[in-house]
Copies of this chain bind each other. A is one copy, B any other.
Amino acid sequence: MGENDDSNIIEHHVEEEMEKSRSASPRCASPRSSTQSSHRLLAYSDALISIIATVMILPVAHTKVEDSEELRQSVQLLLTTKIAVYLMTFVIVTVAWAAHIRLFQVIVRIDDCLALLNLACMMLITFLPYTFSLMATFPENILGILLFCGCVMVMGIIQSVIVMYAFSRPFLLSEQIQISENRTYYKRHILKVIMRVPVMCFFASIFSFIFFQLSYVLLAVVIFLPYMSQCLKWCRSKAIGQVEETPDSMMFYSYLPNEPLSKERVEAFSDGVYAIVATLLILDICEDNVPDPAVVEKQFGGSLIAALQEYGPEYLAYFGSFATVGLLWFVHHSLFLQVTKATRFMGLMNTFSLAFVGGLPLAYQLTHEFPRNSRNELEAIQISCVIIFFAGIFQLAIWVVALYSERETLHPYVWYGGREHVLMLAKLSLYPCVALGTFFLTCILTKFSASIFHLMEITVPVAFLVLRLLVRVGLALLRLIFCPDRRDLRTMVEEEGDETSVSFNAVVT
């Protein structure tokens, strides 16, 4: 931490000195300490956005599912609506977050004015879930879509103001743009990219008066356009070989083509999601599972322990959910330690993984709501397994995608065939495998589904500890047998590692 602080301070001072030597304006007018590193603003924005993205799972979890067949239909409809709101919120908030990353890759320092403008932007983002709730509850009414478009348009205007402000004070911009000669070209280009979505929303809001289904389609296209175009490009490049990228097409979705998603911000956003998901259940437990003193007196003869035993499954659900989320975070953490650069596609896989992680508290809450051995309980357990499976499999997908271009995205010692590669793969595949196994076991042994599920919950944390030992023992055995051969390989990898460390030093100094 200390080193980090110091490096920030140094950076600040260096920046100031550069400013001093560069700026043509008289010393009196140039703001001295009002220019700030944007680090904390971005951390706060990440925290806000991740909470907003995830918190919409709570209305889903709070929907009471009755065990009777009559009510089921209407409850299922309500549940579907709420899940749709959750997923829409998650995806769109993530898209807004990606836009925020791009913007603050161009603007690397902030001042008070930018901080306030960014807060206004955040306020509008946190209001988006409400517009989705309205859309989902009243799909025929255009008010929801109008509100959404209004929010997006105002956000576009605020972001344009941010860009114009930053370009009027070039010392706020990133080095690359600061020293470039065609700064006005950059400015116009960035404004064009930013205003694309609000203009489309403007048309969508006009269309909504004529034929509102069309405006939903329009919005969906606007939001997924970057991903779709990238998917198409990728497929094309796989089918007919590498296509020469024109700088224009590269510049269309990112301002700085050689800058991928900021790895640090992907980590901060993921941390926020994992943290809020891990704590959602304790909130419910504190609110609902403290028995009423009168009830304890009457029904349990004043014995608090007897009253609390009623809630046993809920505690188990809490610990199970916390452990699962914590361990998924642990896998994510291990994975991103080996990643040096997050590509856009890796970001997309990460988003999918996080969306499933967000569903975990819901799944765990469902598992204890139904009577033992009912059909609903089996379904709930199987849903949990499916959610865990997908959360894990998308984490594995990040790894697979990273391996495709391992020279750019991964540290040398986890490249394919490296020593740590095996351990990483084992960590990543543990949850998908276990979830899949549990799913099929519950299909066969339906009677013991709850016991199997709880056994899984308890064994997986142990498995993570044993996994390390197992892989270590395995590697030690291999080392004993193949030691002369492997030593050559290892020293080779070490040399490579030293080379990269040197080149990193060279880049910074």
Contacts and interface: CB of A to CB of B under 8 A. Distances in A.
A501 interface: yes
Contacts of A130: 282, 285-286, 289-290
A389 interface: no
Interface stretch (A114-122, A193-201, A220-228): A114-122
A508 B3 CA distance: 7
A468 to B, nearest CB: 6
Q: How many copies does the complex hold?
A: 2
A345 B16 CA distance: 31
Interface in A313-337: 318-319, 322-323, 326-327, 329-330, 333-334, 336-337
B126 A282 contact: yes
A44 B11 contact: no
Nearest to A49: B275
A122 B279 CA distance: 10
Interface of A is mostly: helix
B413 A334 contact: no
B51 A275 contact: yes
Interface of A: 1-7, 9-11, 13-14, 16-17, 28, 32-34, 36, 39-44, 47-48, 51-52, 55-56, 58-59, 62, 85, 112-113, 115-116, 119, 122-123, 126-127, 129-130, 133-134, 137-138, 141, 143, 262-265, 267-268, 271-272, 274-276, 278-279, 282-283, 285-287, 289-291, 293, 296, 304-305, 308, 318-319, 322-323, 326-327, 329-330, 333-334, 336-338, 340, 411, 413-414, 419-420, 461, 464-465, 468, 479, 483, 497, 500-501, 504-505, 507-508
Given A33-B420, A51-B275, A115-B333, 12 more contacts: A1-B262, A13-B497, A13-B504, A16-B497, A40-B271, A48-B279, A55-B283, A58-B283, A119-B327, A138-B296, A138-B304, A143-B308
